[in-house]
Structures are given as structure tokens and as C-alpha cells.
Structure 1
Amino acid sequence: MAEVLFYHLERQPLERVLPVLLEKTLERGWRAVVQTASQEYAEALDGHLWTYREDSFLPHGLASEREAPRNPIVLTPDTTNPNSAQVRFVVEGAALPDASQYTRVVLLFDGGDESAVAAARQSWKSAKAAGHDVTYWQQTETGKWEKKA
């Protein structure tokens, strides 16, 4: 069974949190796929990951690109796994996919959006019912992530 992590974004936006989590994923030697709810947002994230920090580089690309299978990070609006990733990030309210094909699935949701919170709760119930190891993470006032459940 997969490890399914829920990150409740309250203090920092996704654009600040996601690159850090992707860096940690690559440090572990894992490949990642980031699932968005739209092609437009996948393209926006693509641009952001090139410029989010001057002193860092995250090798990535879009699933629609020919090089997608070779990229350690791929951005996609669907449930495919074009680069055989071990970790799947689910953002922008995209539906939680079948987690069984991954080592880890990370769902990041906006705590200020009631529909995103409700969808995350439903995804939590589904992942737990499927037998996955689910954990809930919330950011402290100092910016560190704390396991709450």
C-alpha cells in the first residue's frame, strides 16, 4: 500500500511549498509526477519551476513533451504516469488517483478554500478505506510541517 500525505496549505501558497517538496523527492532518488486539474495550470507551474529561486534548478517538463519519459519531474493534467514516477503530487483540486501504483502520493490543498477542504476530507476517507497509510500535515507558525494525524 502507498503512503498518502495530505498537506494543508494555510501559511504558504502552493507555489512556495511544492518546489521544496519536489527537491526533497529528488534528493531521495525518486521521480515525481505532478497532477493538476488543467493544462493551463500545468503550464503555469512549468514556468514557475524554472524561476522560483535563482540558486536552484528542478529538472522537469510537461507530459505533452516528447522528453517526458526522461524527466525526473513531469507536470500533467491527467492520471498518467509518463516518467514512471514513484511519487505523485496532486494539486489544484485534481482528483486523487489510484495510489497503489506509487510509493507516495502527496495531496496539497488550500485551507482557505472550503470546497478544497471538503474534497481533501473525501479523499482522506477513500485512501484510508483502500488501506493506504494516510497522514495529515499542517504548517506551524514558524513554517515547519507538523504531523497532526
Structure 2
Amino acid sequence: MGAAYFYHLTRDPLERTLPVLLEKALAAGWACEVRGRTAAAMDRLDAQLWLWPEEGFLPHGRAGGTEDARQPVLLTAGEAASNGAVCVMAVEGAEVAPGEVAALERVCILFDGGDPAAVQVARGQWARLVEAGCAAQYWSQEGGRWEKRAERGG
């Protein structure tokens, strides 16, 4: 059974945090879905991932291509992921259902701590997932490093 990890971005932006988390997930052997709400946000992340790290490349693709099933990381904006993802990284307030959390290895919900609306959405997601019995952890980088600040369920 998986767990939902909430990442409250207060120091590093999404474009810097997401690739680090994706590298860790890929090192664990997990196929990943990056789930957003808009194609524009996925376009921006797609461009950023082509530049990460500076000398390299983080393998990924956009959903809707002929090679989706072979992508280790698939960026989606409403499309169903077809790469066998066992890890979902939700951005821009994209929803993740409790049943998904239970079926996946990990769900990461990344939200901008400088955006009050994003914080509200994340709080609502936390409440719904914990109420449904999902294990959840809340991580913050306010002190400069990632620290687990809360844990529920599981």
C-alpha cells in the first residue's frame, strides 16, 4: 500500500524540486506520471526536464505520443497515463484519488507555499486522503532542508 507525500515548496521552486524527486523515483526503479491540470504547465515542465541536469537529460515524454508505454516519466494534463506508473507526482493542484494512493508505491503532491490558493488545495487534499484512510506525510523545507513535519494514517 502506498502513501501520499506532501511537499510544501517554500525555498526551491517546482522546476528545481520535481527533477530531484523524479531522479530518486527512477533510481528506485519506478515509472512515474507527472500529473498537472494544464497543458501549458506540462509544456513548461517538459522544457525544464530537457535541461536537467545541465550536462544530462532526465528521460521523459508528454502523454499522447506513440511511445507513451515506454516512457519512464510521462507528463499528463488530463490524459490517462499509459506507462505503468507506480509513482504519481501531482502538481498545480491535480487530484489524486484515495484508491490511487492505495494502489501505487508513492504519490507526491507538490505545492507552492507562496500561493495561498495552492496551500488551501493541498490542505483539502490532505484532509480527504487522511479521512479515506490513506497514509500521508507532510514535508517542508522552511529550515533549508526537507523535514517531515507530520504523518497520519497507514
TM over 0.5: yes
CA distance, structure 2, for counterparts of residue 41 and residue 20 of structure 1? 18
Q: Which stretch of the first structure deviates more once superposed, 127-136 or 13-22?
A: 127-136
The reply on whether 1:147 has 2:154 as its aligned counterpart is no
1:108-146: CA deviation from partner (whole Å, max 9, x where unpaired): 00111111111101100111112111000001433x210
CA contact (8 A) 2:7 2:138 kept: yes
Runs of at least 5 residues in structure 2 that lack an aligned partner in the other structure: none
1:73-102: CA deviation from partner (whole Å, max 9, x where unpaired): 000002623101110000012223332331
Aligned residue in 2 for 1:14? 14
Amino acid at match of 2:17: V
| TM-score of the two chains, using structure 2 as the length reference | 0.90
Aligned residue in 2 for 1:123? 125
Count, aligned residues: 148
Task: Give the secondary-structure state (helix, strand or coil) at the position aligned to 2:85.
Answer: coil
CA distance, structure 2, for counterparts of residue 9 and residue 79 of structure 1? 25
Aligned residue in 1 for 2:52? 52
Shift of 1:53: 2.4
Aligned residue in 1 for 2:101? 99
Aligned residue in 1 for 2:3? 3
Aligned residue in 2 for 1:39? 39
Runs of at least 5 residues in structure 1 that lack an aligned partner in the other structure: none
CA contact (8 A) 2:6 2:109 kept: yes
Once superposed, what is the RMSD of the aligned Cα atoms?
1.3
